[in-house]
Amino acid sequence: MDRLADFPAIPAGWAYLDTAATAQKPQPVIDAITRAYGETYATVHRGVYQRSADMTLAYEAARAAAARLIGGQVNEIVFVRGATEAINLVAQSWGGTHLKAGDRILLSQLEHHSNIVSWQLLRDRTGIEIDVCPLTPDGRIDLDAAEAMLTPAHKLVAFAHVSNVLGSILDVRRAADLAHAVGAKLLLDGCQAVPRLPVDVGAIGCDFYVYSGHKLYGPTGIGCLWARAEILDAMPPYQGGGSMIDKVTFERTTYAPAPTRFEAGTPHIVGALGLHAAIDYVEAIGLDAIHAHEAALVTRTRDALRDLNSVTLFGPDDAAGIVSFAVEGVHPHDVGTILDEGHVAIRAGHHCAQPLMEALGVPATARASFGVYNGPADVDALVRGLERVRRIFG
């Protein structure tokens, strides 16, 4: 897979291995954004003039593409700023309406902070309880433990589809079955899954699914909440303002149907068009092909790092596009700094997953994550950089 030429922000000789944080943008996405601002820009859902009508059609076509990508229906997609806002929307709207003191939520040890703090804010307001599912020794959410923990008091299970630190892939169908067996809903954080794996929310059987555009080779500031139509229809608005209304008087306001009810104010119009271009880009390559490409790079990386006796690997061998590791006696920030001197860009830190770091017994990890623009040469550059780290630190 040779897609490097599509990405103008990656110069020759630079190994960009931080796609799990944010993906670089291919030229078709850049062109779509430039064209939208420079040639076709107008507001949506408001204007009676032709350009506004055309932009409205383009905006709604982006919604249809966002639904198609994960096997949903167009009326089940809410545009948000990103997965963080999507989880907060569910917590405040659905959770604030349907959860009460004594109800329980099940999370896991590997969740991103956005899938922890959002529920803690709701807990502090309503008195719900949060339980935490442990991990298997190789870094997967332990669904056997989840099954033993779940009770009829649990109203929601909220898990990452793919861990942003370990790359471990959740058995999502089993997670849905376990949640539904006790009457709970299942929310999946798909930020790391959607750019790497085929996703079909119908086949999974989940109730909520969230993802961000910028990890999918699209722009920042745009993302999606998918929820079953009947669930969205029963949720109250998250914010108030223009667009999300039916009729406003000082005595009473009635609201538009979902998903419009959840999109107050002028939306990120150009972001949606950029997201559409990104979806077209990955679909043209094929998510099966992307997954196979990244799996091969993960295998190459883990095999190479396993041969360095000062390196500890985290997560399973079949991780999806992500390899986290530690170098004995060297802080991950120092690893990242030295690698950067050799034009290798990785992430170093807690990756917005401090409870997972505690579970792993480390303050932080170094993380290499792959995209369609990476190849074996990037893995070789990473290994050379780590050999230099070992020489510097003895």
Q: Is residue 18 part of a domain?
A: no
**DSSP H helical segments within the chain, as ranges?**
27-38, 50-69, 83-89, 96-98, 114-126, 143-149, 172-181, 201-204, 229-233, 269-285, 287-306, 332-341, 354-360, 376-393
303: pLDDT strictly greater than 80: yes
What average pLDDT is seen over the chain?
97
Q: What is the pLDDT of residues 22-80, one digit of tens each?
A: 999 999 999 999 999 999 999 999 889 999 999 999 999 999 999 999 999 999 999 99
Residue 156, H or E segment:
strand 154-160
What are the tens digits of pLDDT across the range 79-129? 999 999 999 999 999 999 999 999 999 999 999 999 999 999 999 999 999
Q: Are residues 39 and 78 in the same domain?
A: yes
Shared-domain flag, residues 358 and 344: yes
Among candidate residues 85, 95, 132, the one with its CA nearest the CA of residue 111: 132
Which pLDDT value is given to residue 2? 79
Query: Is 170 in the same domain as 319?
Result: no
In the prediction, which pLDDT does 265 show?
A: 95
pLDDT of residue 25: 98
Per-residue model confidence (pLDDT) at position 47: 85
Assess whether pLDDT exceeds 80 at residue 1: no
- pLDDT band, residue 222 (cuts 50/70/90): very high
152 is a domain residue = yes
Alpha helices, DSSP H, located in 127-204: 143-149, 172-181, 201-204
pLDDT at residue 350, rounded to an integer: 96
**371-383 in b/e burial notation, b at 16+ Cβ within 10 A?**
bbbbbeebbebbb
Query: Looking at per-residue confidence, does 9 or 307 come out higher?
Result: 9
99 vs 129: CA distance, rounded Å? 10
Q: Report d(CA 13, CA 342) in Å as an integer.
A: 9
144 and 211 inside one domain = yes
Does one domain contain both 154 and 244? yes
Mean predicted confidence (pLDDT) in 144-154? 98
How far lies 324's CA from each of 36, 195, 302, 394, in Å?
Answer: 38, 18, 9, 22
At 46 the pLDDT is 85
Q: What percent of the chain has pLDDT over 90?
A: 98
With a cut of 90, say whether residue 179 has pLDDT above it. Answer: yes
Q: Does 371 lie in the same domain as 352?
A: yes
Specify the CATH number for the domain of residue 238: 3.40.640.10
Coil, helix or strand at residue 192: coil
Cβ atoms of 349 and 332 within 8 Å: the answer is yes
> How many structural domains are present in the chain?
2
Query: Domain check: are 212 and 302 in the same one?
Result: no
In a domain, 14, yes or no: no
21 occurs within a structural domain: no
* 191 noted as active-site residue: no
Q: Mind giving me the DSSP string for 262-329?
A: G--SS--HHHHHHHHHHHHHHHHH-HHHHHHHHHHHHHHHHHHHHTSTTEEEES-TT-SSEEEEEETT
Q: Which of 283, 316, 344 corresponds to the end of one domain? A: 283
Residues 333, 187 share a domain = no
The single residue of 191, 206, 224, 352 carrying the catalytic annotation is 352
Can you give the residue range of the structural domain that contains 210?
Answer: 28-283
Is residue 87 helix, strand or coil?
helix
Which residue from 189, 138, 114 is spatially nearest to 360, judged by alpha carbons? 138
Q: Which residue has the tokens 């005595």?
A: 251
**Distance of alpha carbon 239 from alpha carbon 235, whole angstroms:** 12
- Give the whole-number percent of the chain exceeding pLDDT 70: 100
Q: Are residues 64 and 207 in the same domain?
A: yes
Tell me what pLDDT residue 241 has. Answer: 94
**pLDDT tens digits for range 272-300:** 999 999 999 999 999 999 999 999 999 99
Q: Are 86 and 227 in contact (CB under 8 A)?
A: no
Indicate the residue among 283, 317, 345 that finishes a domain: 283
Whether the per-residue pLDDT at 9 is higher than 90: the answer is yes
Where is the domain boundary, 233, 268, 283? 283
Selection from 340, 296, 336 nearest residue 319 by Cα: 296
pTM: 0.97
pLDDT of 254 > 90? The answer is yes
